Structures are given as structure tokens and as C-alpha cells.
Amino acid sequence: MKNFQIPEFYKSKVISKVKEIRKENDPRKKDFNPTILDFGPVRFHIARHFGFCYGVENAIETAYKAIEENADKRIFLLSQMIHNPDVNNDLLTRGVKFLMDTAGNQIIPFSELTKDDIVIIPAFGTTLEIEKQLTNIGIAVHHYDTTCPFVERVWKKSENLGEENYTIIIHGKYKHEETRATFSRSEKNAHSIIVKDIAESRILGKFIKGELSMEEFEKVFEGKHSDNFDATKHLTRVGVINQTTMLATETQEIADYFKNLMIQKYGLETIKEHFADTRDTLCYATNENQEATYGLLKEKADLAIVVGGYNSSNTSHIVELCEQKLPTYFISSEKEIVSQKQIFHFDFTKQVRLSTEDYLPLKLPVDILLTSGASCPDSVVEAVLRKLLSFFDSSKKIEEVMNKITL
């Protein structure tokens, strides 16, 4: 796999070294047990996989390359490069400007752009409509296009399904940049509809079974399906794809649900005529990070710290998994850790920032699960580790512990 040129300030002497050691000892990525950093009064259980993935590193390398190569030009990001505040803020300090927010709302009108401007397409990709707008201005949209190849793989899958006349069911968050980009392509190839979870899938299933009226269907799926979508005709032959950062187990549950539904309605002998048995379209990093989280959760621990951007989909699903087992704090950086007594953290479901007192237990040793999303720099995770470590006076020195890593 390609090695990307990532700015040194995103790397970490501690976290990056842990990753290097694990890679040397487990090159085939078969062991999902965490690495334990035992400092005495506090022990950190570090997930086997987390942090920058292939798509993120590609996006970061391309963005900084664009800055370096175009010092005399205006440089714009279509929207956030990745869902991490540190990365996006650093690009802003270097003069890069955002054209849109993550919801697709215009910040700078396209009418202000010229053919000489540089526009960077983020890792999530963008819609065909936006590509056309930029091309009409004369901007070479694919020159600095950082769309993740695993996202493009999903686009290809939707194209294949469309060629075979399947209606495409997209498991994703319909306002997310990646889902909007995928939907713009899938609806070009086939009738398409977006479901955010298994609950919405079951609602769609009720309509397929004739248990839901058209009026009720529109209440749930208004704005989430392609134009001229006729729910009475276009749900007899379906295939499932997804936003690459969704929870893998739920995507599989959704696919299994629609397959079984089609078997019930049309019979097993004709299932291939009604359901495209597509393989999961999650990216390798999402799969590995979620598997590593399951491995992490086998450990006995007091709490979990998950680091990442608050609008990061893949990070939110790691939080979701951890919350099922133990107290979990979703933070963007070490700055959210106020003291040994107080921590600010984010409730992704309610979309609110919370403050919790006495989050560290009054016992020794304290066991902390530590991981991050795919767009979080190792340097930020290390800063979180060091901040927490500073609360334990009798801790061993980092250098001493790093020489005795438990694999």
C-alpha cells in the first residue's frame, strides 16, 4: 500500500510507534487485541486499528501539495477536507477557504470563482451536479480530487446494480456529504432510496409488504428517494450499498432483512430476480477499526475515551459500540479534558456538548480504553494520553513504558 507524505506535526512518538510495532508483529492484521501501556496507577488499552486511513492520508497529502504548488492562486476546499477540526483549521490558517459547509450550504457563491482558482474535492467526494457547475466555470475539478477510492468503489457498485435494473437502497445518513455524492450517482443509474438504519429499513419493508400507505411512506422518505420514484413499482428488485463509514453489522442486518423479505414475498427459487446479493461495501479501514473496537471491548476497563471530530460518522459508530459496554467520552482533543474531576464530551445522538464530573473512578489502577476515528491525527491521541497521564503523580515515565509494550 502506498506511503503518503503526511506533515510531521500530525504524527506522534508514542501512538505512531505503537502502530509501527503492531504492524511489524502482525503484518496480516489478524490480531485485534489492544496494546496495553501500563503506567502503574493508570493503564491505557490502545486499539489495534484507529486513526488516519488510506483515504484520509491521500486527502491530506493532496491538499498540502495543492498549497505548495499554487502559492500564487486562490485555493478553495469544496467543504471540510475530512471530519477533523485540527486538520481543517490548519488548512484554513494556510489561506484555504471553504466553499460550502458539511450540509451543502453555500459559504462562498460559485459565481465568485474563476477558471484560475484551485478547488480541492474532499475525501467524501461530491455530487455530479456540483462537478458540472465547477467544470462549467473552467475549473479542473479532478486535478486535486481527493475522493477516497473506497467511496468510488461504492459508486461503481451502484452503476453495476443500475445496469442490472435493480433499485438501489443506500444505507447512509442522507445529509452526509458522502451519501449525497453516492446518491447523485446511483439515481443516475437506477431508482434509489436512502435508509439511515434498520428501523427505517423495516418501515420500508412494511410498505413492500403492503402494510403501509403511500402517504405514510412519503412522511418517512420524502427527500430521500430519486425523482419519479414509484414505490408501488420500484421495490420488487433491490440491492443494498452504503455510506462507507456506517456500522458494518447494521449494514449486514439491513441487507439480510431485505433478502429475507424478498424470499418471503417471492420465494427462494426466484430470489436472484428480486435481490442483488452484493458484498458489503464498507471500506477496509472502517471494518478494521470496528473489529479493533470489538477487540478493545473484551478488556476489563473503567471507561473509554474516543477521539475525533464531532461530525465524523465513523467515529460516532465507534462511540456507539463502546457506549453499549461502559462509560464513554467522545472528545475532539485534549482541550476537552478540563481536570481530573471534569471532562467535556459530545453526545452524538442528541448533538449536544456535555460536562461530566468525576469521570475518573476513585480506584487504582484506572483502566482506560483509548481509540479514535479514521480522520484523527496520532498527535491528538497522544495529547489526550499525556493529559490524562498528568493526573497520576506516581506514573512511570513514557520512555520506560514504551520499551516494555505489551502486545
* Residue 399: active-site member: no
Report residue 295 as a C-alpha cell. Answer: 477487540
Whole-angstrom Cα distance, residue 249 to residue 239?
17
- Fill in the DSSP letter of residue 279: P
Q: Taking every pair of C-alpha atoms in the chain, what is the biggest distance, in angstroms?
A: 68
Candidates 57, 178, 187, 200; catalytic one: 178
Per-residue CA distances from 72 to 138, 165, 198 (Å): 18, 48, 50
Inter-axis angle of helices 313-323 and 284-296, nearest 10: 20
Q: Could you tell me how many helices (H) and strands (E) the chain has, helices first?
A: 13, 14
How far, in Å, CA of 262 to CA of 271, rounded?
7
Q: Which three cell numbers stand for residue 220?
A: 418517512
Rg (CA), the chain: 23
Number of other CB atoms surrounding residue 125 within 10 Å: 25
> Which residues are the active-site residues?
178
